């Protein structure tokens, strides 16, 4: 049933019905109640598609993963996506995931697809999860005026967006290194993928505070797979390292696996610490010490920046804000003092 039919059935104007439903504008209290109860009785509900056209707003935000090699939708990003979806929902927005290329009518990559939706006003804003790779810049260029917020571990320089919500690895890394050093470790390695320069920088700073340098064993691959972690463990171990910080929990779980295969006992002979604090970190054998990332906070701040801008599209030329979010260390079984 359309609003004109409905409004004439119950003897009011379309404007009144619209006002009663939206809460915008003024309606008499009695009239409002009447409209809503009749709507329930006659089973009328406003057509969202028409509302969106009329209001020039879709109520939907896009979520996009910008990574070096390809869009990686791993556990970390899944958990993050979940938080973003929750935060969006509690601000009244839906979320549109752009993961895979579409093949209709012609194949288009996710970035182009998202840009098309933005150009067509199908999404009001975009949240870009980035690992610092330049592809985020390409997406933003295609996005033109659509408001965008970056959610990243690596600060992008001169990026044309509303805000960058940046994960600050220093507090967590600092605490982790303090812990390792307190446990007697002096030869600490780092397992990284390509592009984890913020994590590396945080590590170097934390080590320097103790007068140490990281063992120079870093993964060369851009991937951060389980197998890479396993391989890295072997290399670090061979190099005489006794504790490793891994750029992700998946790498760390791989390293744990490597230790298990090599018969190395954790943490008595070796300590492993991950970054991300995935749900599985507390479920591995041994449980994984990890640096936690406040995903819910990141998500809320990103959504807040976006929705604020959407509500008042004024102040076009404000400089993009940078919001750091602190990480924290969670000691579990995979790290501790040596005792051989």
Partner DNA sequence: TTAAATCTTGTAACCGGTTACATTTTTGGC
Partner DNA sequence: GCCAAAAATGTAACCGGTTACAAGATTTAA
Q: How far is the CB of 106 from DNA (least distance, A)?
A: 16
Distance between CA atoms of 82 and 98, rounded to whole angstroms? 14
> Could you tell me which stretch among 96-104, 148-156, 183-191, 268-276 binds a copy of itself (CB under 8 A)?
96-104
In the complex, least distance from residue 14 CB atom to a copy of itself, rounded to whole angstroms: 16
Q: Is residue 282 a contact point for a copy of itself (CB under 8 A)?
A: yes
Nearer to a copy of itself, 84 or 200 (CB): 84
3-state SS class at 229:
helix
Distance of alpha carbon 77 from alpha carbon 295, whole angstroms: 10
Choose the binding region for a copy of itself from 6-14, 174-182, 247-255, 288-296 (rule: CB under 8 A).
247-255
The reply on whether position 120 binds a copy of itself by CB under 8 A is yes
Q: How far is the CB of 235 from DNA (least distance, A)?
A: 57
| 2 contact choice in DNA, a copy of itself, none (CB below 5 to 8 Å, kind-dependent) | DNA
Angle between helices 75-90 and 249-262 (to 10 degrees): 150
Please state the closest distance from residue 194 (CB atom) to DNA, in A: 41
Does 284 interact with a copy of itself (rule: CB under 8 A)?
Answer: yes
Partner touching 3 among DNA, a copy of itself, none, CB below 5 to 8 Å by kind: DNA
State phi, psi for 244 to the nearest 5 degrees: -130, 135
Q: Where do the H-state alpha helices sit in the chain?
A: 3-10, 14-22, 29-42, 48-55, 75-90, 110-119, 135-143, 170-182, 197-208, 226-238, 249-262, 295-311
Could you list the residues that contact DNA (CB under 7 A)?
Answer: 1-4, 6, 11-19, 21-22, 24-32, 46-47, 49-51, 53-56
Q: Report helix, strand or coil for 83.
A: helix
Determine the interface stretch with a copy of itself among 3-11, 110-118, 133-141, 233-241 (rule: CB under 8 A): 110-118
Q: Could you tell me the smallest distance in angstroms from the CB atom of residue 8 to DNA?
A: 9
Instruction: Select 56 or 314, whichever has its Cβ closest to DNA.
Output: 56
In whole angstroms, the minimum distance from the beta carbon of 196 to DNA comes to 43
Identify the CA nearest to 331 among candidates 261, 274, 270: 274
Using the Cα atoms of residue 81, residue 83, residue 85 and residue 87 in order, give the sign of their dihedral. Answer: negative
**Binding partner selected for residue 26 from DNA, a copy of itself, none, CB under the kind-specific 5 to 8 Å limit:** DNA
- The distance of closest approach from Cβ of residue 49 to DNA in the complex, given in angstroms and rounded to an integer, is 7
Q: In angstroms, what CA-CA distances link 101 with 65, 68, 75, 192? A: 13, 16, 20, 28
> Is the sign of the CA dihedral 153, 156, 157, 163 positive or negative?
negative
Residues 58-87 that bind a copy of itself (CB under 8 A): 58, 60, 73-75, 78-79, 82, 85-86
Distance in angstroms (rounded) separating the CA atoms of residues 206 and 137: 30
100 binds, among DNA, a copy of itself, none (CB under 5 to 8 A by kind): a copy of itself
What are 122's two structure tokens? 């199908």
| CB contact burial 36-55 (16+ within 10 A = b; e otherwise) | eebbeeeebeeeeeeebeee
For a copy of itself, the binding residues (CB under 8 A) are: 23, 45-53, 56, 58, 60, 73-75, 78-79, 82, 85-86, 89-92, 94-105, 113, 116-117, 119-122, 226, 250, 253-254, 256-257, 260, 279-280, 282-286
């Amino acid at each position: 049933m359309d609003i004109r039919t409905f409004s004439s059935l119950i003897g009011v104007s379309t404007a009144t019905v619209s006002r009663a439903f939206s809460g915008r504008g003024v309606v008499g209290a009695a009239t409002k109640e009447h409209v809503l109860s009749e709507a329930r009785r006659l089973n009328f509900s406003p057509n969202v598609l028409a509302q969106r056209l009329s209001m020039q707003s879709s109520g939907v935000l896009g979520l996009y993963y910008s990574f070096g090699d390809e869009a990686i939708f791993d556990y970390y990003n899944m958990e993050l996506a979940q938080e973003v979806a929750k935060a969006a929902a509690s601000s009244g927005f839906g979320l549109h995931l752009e993961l895979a290329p579409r093949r209709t009518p012609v194949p288009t990559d996710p970035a182009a697809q998202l840009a098309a939706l933005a150009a067509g006003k199908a999404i009001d804003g975009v949240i870009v999860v980035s690992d610092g790779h330049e592809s985020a810049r390409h997406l933003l260029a295609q996005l033109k005026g659509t408001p965008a917020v970056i959610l990243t571990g690596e600060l992008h320089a001169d990026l044309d967006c509303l805000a960058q919500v940046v994960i600050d690895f220093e507090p967590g890394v600092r605490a982790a290194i303090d812990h390792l050093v307190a446990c007697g470790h002096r030869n600490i390695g780092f397992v990284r993928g390509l592009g984890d320069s913020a994590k590396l920088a945080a590590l170097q700073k934390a080590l320097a505070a103790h007068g140490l340098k990281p063992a120079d064993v870093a993964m060369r691959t851009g991937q951060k797979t389980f197998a890479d972690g396993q391989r890295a463990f072997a290399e670090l171990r061979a190099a005489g390292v006794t504790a490793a910080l891994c750029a992700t929990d998946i790498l760390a779980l791989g390293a744990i696996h490597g230790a298990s295969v090599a018969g190395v006992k954790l943490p008595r002979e070796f300590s492993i610490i991950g970054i991300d604090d995935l749900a599985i970190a507390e479920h591995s054998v041994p449980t994984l010490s990890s640096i936690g990332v406040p995903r819910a906070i990141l998500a809320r701040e990103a959504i807040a920046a976006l929705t604020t801008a959407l509500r008042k599209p004024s102040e076009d030329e404000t400089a993009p804000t940078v919001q750091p979010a602190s990480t924290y260390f969670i000691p579990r079984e995979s790290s501790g003092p040596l005792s051989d």
